[in-house]
Amino acid sequence: MARTLAMILAGGAGTRLFPLTQSRTKPAVPFAGGLRLVDLVLNNFVNSDLLKIYLLTQFKSQSLNIHLRQAWYLSGLTGNFIDAIPAQMRMGKRWYEGTADAIYQNIRLIEQHDPDNVCIFGSDHIYKMNVRQMVRYHEKSGAALTVCATRVPISEAHRFGVIEVDENFRMTGFEEKPAHPKPLPGNPNMALVSMGNYVFDAQVLYKSLYADAEDKLSSHDFGHDIIPKLYKDKQVQVYDFTQNTIPGEIHNHYWRDVGTLYSFWEAHMDLLACEPQFELNNEKWPLRSFHPPVPSARILADEGGHHSTILNSLISSGCKIVGSRVERSVLGFNVHLGAGSRLHECVILGKAHIGAGSYLNRVIADKGVCIAPGTEVGVNPLQDKARGLTVTEEGLTVIAKGMKVGFE
C-alpha cells in the first residue's frame, strides 16, 4: 500500500450545478452543513490509510485551495502528503482537455514516485469506500486496470459508463453514456455502471496515456477513450462496490452522483431520514473537514414566547433560530432565522440571514444570502424567476451566493 499513489480529479466546472458553481469549482461546493464535496473522497483515502494524494485543480480553484489548506494539511516529514496541483500547461499551451489528459499532463509527478498502483478517483460523488479493499482486489487479480462499479436504475444509466462483465467480473464490454444502456442479465430494470474510480497498474497507465496523447482523434477521456481500448487487449477487472465494507456501519453501499441541482438537493434530503442511507455519525469512519471557530447553534423562543420547532433537520454550529419552524432542512454554519420564519425542505449553505416571517419552500440558498422579512421563496415560480432566481424543472428555487431577495 505504501507504493500506491492517488490522483484525484478536482477541477470540474460543474456547469449543471450553476449557480452554486458561479464562484467556485464543483468539488468545493458545501455539503451536509459542514463538509465540502471533495471531503468525501479525501476521507475515503485517509480512513483507508492511503496518504500520498495529489488533487488536480483547474476551474475557480481558490475556494478549494483555501479549504484544503485549512482542513487537509499533512506534514511532509512522514513522506505523506495531500497536495493541490493547479493546471500548469506542462505539455503545451493548453488546459486539460479531458480526464486522461489531466493525468497525462502530470505524468512526471507520478513517475517520480515510482508507484506500483495509481488510484484515479473523481471528487464529486457522495459515498463511503474503503479504497484499500479495492487496491487489494486489483493486486490479487493481477489486472492492468480495475474499475469500481455499482448498479443504478436503467433510466439513469445513460449518464454513466455502462459495463458488461463475465462470471469472474472481468470486463467484456464498456460504453460511455450510451443512448440505450444495456441492462444487467436477468434484470432489465438495472445496469452496471462505472463510478469513475480506477486503480491502474502504473506501467499500463503510462503506456495508455502516452499512446492516447499521440492519438489526434481522441477526446483524451478515460471513459470515452482509454477504457474502451484497454479492456479489449488487457485484463480489466470490475470491482463490485457492494462488496466493500466500512467499519461500524450496516452496509447499504449508498452512492450518489450530485451532478445536478436536483440530485444535490435529493442527497441532502437522504440525510434526514431516521435511519439515513448515508450516515454522518460513525466514529470508526470519521468525516473530517474544516470547522470555523463559531459557537454552538442556538434554538430560542422569540420575544412573544413562541418556541422554535425543528423537525428532521441538520443544524450546524453558529446558527441562531428564533421562534421559527425548520422542517426537513439542512442549515450550514451561521444561518440566522428571524422570528416566525419557516423553512420546508431547504438547503442553506451558510452565512445566511432570513428575515422574520419569511417562508422558504424547497429552496437551495448559497452562502451570504439575505432574505427580507415577510418574503416568500419557492411558492411562486414566476415571481422567483422575476427576481433573478434559478427555478429548476423539478420545482426547486436556487438563490445564488450573496443575493438579496425581497428588498424591492
- The C-alpha atoms of residue 287 and residue 313 are separated, in whole angstroms, by 18
Query: Do the Cβ atoms of 356 and 324 come closer than 8 Å?
Result: no
Q: Which of 213, 195, 233 is nearest to 119 (CA)?
A: 195
H or E stretch including 151? strand 145-153
User: Could you identify the residue written with the cell 422579512?
Assistant: 373
96 is in an annotated binding site: yes
- The C-alpha atoms of residue 182 and residue 188 are separated, in whole angstroms, by 8
For residue 35, give the C-alpha cell.
Answer: 463538509
Query: Do the Cβ atoms of 364 and 343 come closer than 8 Å?
Result: no
305 is in an annotated binding site: no
Cis previous bond, 19, omega within 30:
yes
- The C-alpha atoms of residue 374 and residue 357 are separated, in whole angstroms, by 5
206 is in an annotated binding site: no
In sequence order, what are the beta bridge partners of 5?
118
Which amino acid is present at 314? L
Q: In 3-state terms, what secondary structure has residue 9? A: strand
341 is in an annotated binding site: no
- The C-alpha atoms of residue 156 and residue 137 are separated, in whole angstroms, by 27
Q: Pairing state of beta strands 298-300 and 161-165?
A: unpaired
Q: Which of 365, 367, 368, 402 is nearest to 384 (CA)?
A: 365
For residue 310, give the C-alpha cell.
Answer: 425543528
**Helices 37-47 and 62-71: crossing angle, nearest 10°?**
40
Query: Do the Cβ atoms of 126 and 255 come closer than 8 Å?
Result: yes
Q: What are the Cα distances from residue 394, in Å, to 3, 182, 223?
A: 46, 27, 29
Query: Looking at 24-123, which runs of residues are DSSP E strands?
Result: 30-31, 35-36, 52-57, 81-86, 117-122
- 230 phi and psi, to 5 degrees? -70, -40
For residue 388, give the C-alpha cell.
Answer: 433573478
194 is in an annotated binding site: yes
Which residue positions form the known binding site for alpha-D-glucose 1-phosphate? 96, 161, 176-177, 194
Which residue positions form the known binding site? 96, 161, 176-177, 194
